[in-house]
Amino acid sequence: MDCPTIDTERLVLRPIGPEDRVAIFENYSDSDVSRWFFAQPYTQIEQADRIIQQFMLRTAEGVGLAWAIVLKATGETIGTCSYEHIDQELTGEIGFDLGKRHWGYGYMREALQAVTEYGFGRLGLAHITADTYSDNLRARRVLEQVGFSVDSVGEDSHCYSVSREAWMRKQRRGRAGVRPGRPEL
């Protein structure tokens, strides 16, 4: 499976590669970012090399896709977004991270919107899921903004999902609510 490049208004989502090692290391060595993924923040850049290899291997094996999130304005890699696993039942599991200094600008919502659209439109997925810690309110909020809803709640986790049908309904409602020449509130 090839990982395509996806353009959005402010971002380029391109396949993750070795050139992203410094940005990924910086994100995962920040305890505010890494605490959602690892027991300890990264301390050696070789750890970024290993996770990049894992991302690339999943793509090569056809079970996942991983994008570097790049700002169009600067060319800076600011995070990642991926299908961690795509199964035979046409379900994909999304994972994502963003550097702390880029929080609050809507970049992750923009990236997740594009990756979700790609999953349903190009990959033909029927269902997309995402798991996050219950106290990761930022991740939970962005998933809900994109159209995911809570499927189940564990001891310390929330499992989210969206079906292709629910996604399409939301997209149609969104387009129907905007009239040309009329500003959105």
Residue 182 inside a domain? The answer is no
Q: pLDDT (tens digit, 9 = 90+) per residue, 105-150?
A: 999 999 999 999 999 999 999 999 999 988 888 899 999 999 999 9
Q: Total domain count for the chain? A: 1
Domain span holding position 110:
6-176
| pLDDT given for residue 173 in this prediction | 79
Low-confidence ranges of the chain (pLDDT < 50): 178-185
Q: Distance between CA 49 and CA 151 in Å, rounded?
A: 34
**Beta carbons of 127 and 159 less than 8 angstroms apart:** no
Specify the pLDDT at position 176: 57
Element (H, E) at 15: strand 11-15
Give the three-class secondary structure for 16. Answer: coil
Give the model's pLDDT for residue 178: 45
- Residue 170 has what pLDDT? 83
> Per the domain annotation, does 57 fall within a domain?
yes
Phi, then psi, of 131 in degrees rounded to 5: -115, 140
Asked whether residue 94 is assigned to any structural domain, the reply reads yes
pTM: 0.87
Alpha-helical (H) ranges within 1-131 are: 21-29, 31-34, 45-60, 107-121
Between CA 39 and CA 85 the distance in angstroms is 22
Q: What is the CATH number of the domain that holds 21?
A: 3.40.630.30
Asked whether residue 183 is domain-assigned, the answer is: no
